[in-house]
Structure 1
Amino acid sequence: MTHQTTDKILAIGLMSGTSVDGIDAALVEICDRQGILTTNLIAGHTYEYDADLRKEILAVCAGEPRSLQQICELDDRIAESFAKAALAIREKSDRQPDLIGSHGQTVFHRPPTGQKMGYTVQLGRGAVIAELTEIKTVSDFRVADIEAGGHAAPLVPMLDILLLSHPEKYRVCQNIGGISNLTYLPPKALENQEKVFGFDNGSGNVLMDMAAQKLFGVPFDNDGAIARQGEPNLELINNWLEQEFFLIPPPKSTGRELFSPAYLEQCLSECKNLNQSLSDYDILATLTEFTARAIAQSYHDFLPVFPEEVLVGGGGGRNGYLMERLQDLLKPAIVKRTDDFGLSGDSKEAIAFAVLGYLRIKERYGNLPSVTGAKRSVLLGKIYQ
């Protein structure tokens, strides 16, 4: 008679992405039946950064110079914000969580090139979070993969394999956060992990959000309502898609270092310098179409088999216009949000870091070398009691 071992823990996942729009927190029950994981989201919420803190983070991301002391102080301020978010989401359950998995805030990311190892910096140190919450904390997930020669991105594919693969269908999990990235899941992906891969495939929401703020004074284009009123300029988009990032094969990763405020300014000046100057609505439509076409192009260029289903997570999944464009560009695949498959698209990345924290304390590998390009599987994250 085989003995069924089941492990059930309550974990908090914390994540803030390239958009720096706040800290996504997920309170999630993780059930482990002999190595097969399932998750149950108890609560998910985004806690906004204090306005001054957000401004400082964006300044550092944009490469504005700061002293080492200022960077250290920022590290602690971010950790304090993350701890506050953890304590707030903890209130949604009467049980004390066993674990926090905190991604922190990326302020610098340099992919590996040739023989040169990559470099990545996430602020919000785990020791401070553990101290303030009195909950065991795992943080600094990306460094071990970088040290094994990888890009340390994307890391969410491990969650996709565990929760979203299908026995017969080819699926792609498309995340559209600040940056967009995908996980390619062939049938029975859990048994065929070497065939799973993923990569960053575009600017995601970051250019659209910056343009919405600059041109319309709103934080983002709600449901794509503004872009829907414009007409995209395909000539510009096709030129932009000739840039090196879109043409190089995976593994690859990107961030605000490429899709920066300066990058947006270049796009805007090209929009204004056309024979017929584009309206602000046309500009936002063009940037939205650029996001959608970058995603579609990456499928045609780099996926061995075109997917039957595309499962969209992240803020981009709530942009109705962007979703319509993806459905049109990715035919005959069916494009839906991950919510339709039982996994909250809004909380997906936070859930992923709760799960990666769990894998770390169980001493299970957290990276997928076929995704990140690392030379080997490694334990991700540092544990703070």
Structure 2
Amino acid sequence: MTAAIDPAAVEGIARDPGAFLQQLDTIQRRALFVRLTEADLRAASFLDERLGLQGRDGFWVTLETLSAISAAVADPVEAPHYIFHIGHCGSTLISRLLDKDGNLLGLREPLALRELSAARRELDSPLSRVSAAQWSALFDGSLKLLGRGFSPGQRALIKATSTCNDLIESALEHDSASRLILLHIPLESYMATMLKGQGGGLDALHGAPARLQYLHETLGAESPRLHELGHAEILAMGWLSELLRFRRAADADAGKGRIMMLDFEQWLEQPDALLDAARKHLGLSGRATSAGAVAQWPEMRAYAKSPAHAYSPADRIHDLDLSRRKFASEIADGLRFAEHMAKRHPELQALL
């Protein structure tokens, strides 16, 4: 049931960063807040439905009350920084390593951002549940609430879900102080990673329509059609779409210094130097990381999405080699599709 909130309660929620905006519901025009500690947020790999709400205190408010709560948040709220990524490319690990700095608070895949992304894609449709103005207000208010820190000057580092990359432009427009890391891996490694996973990259298959739509709109093309593509070709198409989106955003940002493109495989080869580069990009101070230090951190020997399980860079290489042998034919299909698309659209050639 959606709670009626009195003005004093609105002020209390606005001042409490532990009242976490967990969900937006545009159907019933309400929002869910859940009580979380700073330690809860730092421990969570996902802040979506996988967070687990059973046994947690929470309450629903109307979207109108949500607007009042965000308006009551005391300024200043530091503008969030972001990690956008193509999926299964080390984003959780990078987020956890950057989260070691007390001035950053890593928020990994908040559901509210995913819901905002889905709503944004429907804005041009007569079936959209919110207007463009309502969406902008929801986006601004949600970021203000997500950006609340537990200590003065603490800034949120939001790692978005891989299907939220359509929010890159909105994130840049929201606050000029925000900095973005766009994380990716080469196509062949992406194919091997996705095919070895449960469902063979089911999340990428679900996100394929939106990615193909972006590719069509950007390239001015009407093909390929989704029903014409095989499993591996859909994965390659999604990679092309997101890398094109990243490259266009980075090109538009040239000279402004707000976007850092980061190849996770290059980061694995130079973790100390490139982690320092990412920290510098986000405006973090501190001494340079000594050579070989990052490799010794416990995060590098655990599976970032489930830290109780051991997993090292060597384990990753082993798993990818197995996948490359098992799915050699499918990987070849995906690479051929990408090369064919690049011949038809020269803008894609540089991505390969």
Pick the structure with more strand per residue: 1
Say whether the fold is shared (TM-score over 0.5). Answer: no
Higher helix proportion, which one? 2
Task: Answer 1 or 2: higher relative contact order, Cα 8 Å, separation at least 6.
Answer: 1
Q: TM-score, normalised by structure 1?
A: 0.30
